[in-house]
Amino acid sequence: MSLLAGVRVLDLTMWRPGPYATQLLAQLGADVLKVEPPGGEPMRAFRSHFDLLNQRKRSVVLDLKSAEGRARCLELAAAAEVFVEGFRPGVADRLGVGPEAAREANPALVYCSLSGYGAEGPLADVPGHDINYRAHAAALAPDALSPAADELPVADMSAATMAAFAITAGVLHARVTGEGERIDLGMADVMAHWVATVPQATRTPPPTAESHRVGPVPGYGVYRTKDGRGITLGVVSEDRLWAAVCRALDLPDLAELGFADRLGRVRELDEAVAAAVARLRADEAVVRLAAEGAPVAPILSRAEMMAHPHFAARGVVADGGLGSPVRTTAAKPLPPGKVPELDEHRGQSWLE
């Protein structure tokens, strides 16, 4: 029998992190039912990616914007042990399938939300993608260049793995106590926690020359500012995020270009973004881009990350040390504790 045989997982996630988390559960035997919108998950258009992340699952189409679809989703949640969603913070609640509604249908449900910066905190509503989460978490070197198209999305995959771990722990707790759990997992939190486990080291100094490697799509990558620092932009296919970048950087003639048009002009458009960023100081660029709703993040040092109010508010760092990358409601993670001395507990039993 598989390790998670009999565990029923209702999976509302799309794209990469959530589907990878639920596939990890499926590979250990969980029964994962994938809920897709009418027309299917957008990632189905990229079958080479979709097929790698959605094996051993079942699929059902539900229109969560309809009363019938919402009711069916909650009916399925009532018979599940796990509910996983990857919407932007607040979207699941607006659709009527948020944690309160789902756990009203099933008080023992383990409800996991997986998002970029988590459901709460100063950065919760900031849009972003993998490179932004890594930048805020001090997981990019000061001299980092834009990633190649096939670079491993470390924040996405690490958070997905952490989600699978937290969900499994939640199921164990719920089966013992009958009490469900609300897991709030931010991708940036996981990267920040990883970075916080490594003592402060000497980092490569920022580059003195202007350097820019064109990323996989325009507006995705690392951009150098006037004062020699780096910021990251995380536009992928989203027209609204591309338009926000263009508004912030005074590139109005480019704002209306759709994704297909942008893919045909990658180098030209990305170099236009790089040139516009290079005219601004890092702090000025971040403020302007954030004000327009662009997916921007400064490349922080470890010390800057450890002092950032977002990670303190979410408990990722605590008193300058390690907190927890997992936020739960019913059974909260324990605070940092004492490190044992060598052989300190010789002769003790499990209960002492």
Residue 22: both structure tokens together: 């639920």
Minimal CA–CA distance to 172: which of 108, 216, 263?
A: 108
Residue 336, pLDDT > 90, answer no
Q: Is pLDDT at 117 greater than 50 in this prediction?
A: yes
What the chain holds in terms of domains, given with CATH numbers, is: 8-194 (3.40.50.10540), 220-298 (3.30.1540.10)
SS3 92: helix
Determine the 3-state secondary structure of 11 from DSSP.
strand
User: Could you report the per-residue pLDDT of 5-20, keeping only the tens digit for each?
Assistant: 999 999 999 999 999 9
What tens digit of pLDDT does each residue of 130-184 get? 999 999 999 999 889 999 888 899 999 999 999 999 999 999 999 999 999 999 9
- The stretch 301-306 carries a mean pLDDT of 93
- Whether the pLDDT of residue 352 is over 70: the answer is no
CA atoms of 261 and 278, how far apart (whole Å): 24
- 271-285 burial, b at 16+ Cβ within 10 Å, e below that, comes to ebbbebbeebebeeb
pLDDT in tens, 196-221: 998 875 455 555 445 688 999 999 99
Cα within 13 Å of Cα(103), Cβ side: 21
Residue 21 banded pLDDT, cuts 50, 70, 90: very high
| pLDDT (tens digit per residue) in 218-276 | 999 999 999 999 999 999 999 999 999 999 999 999 999 999 999 999 999 999 999 99
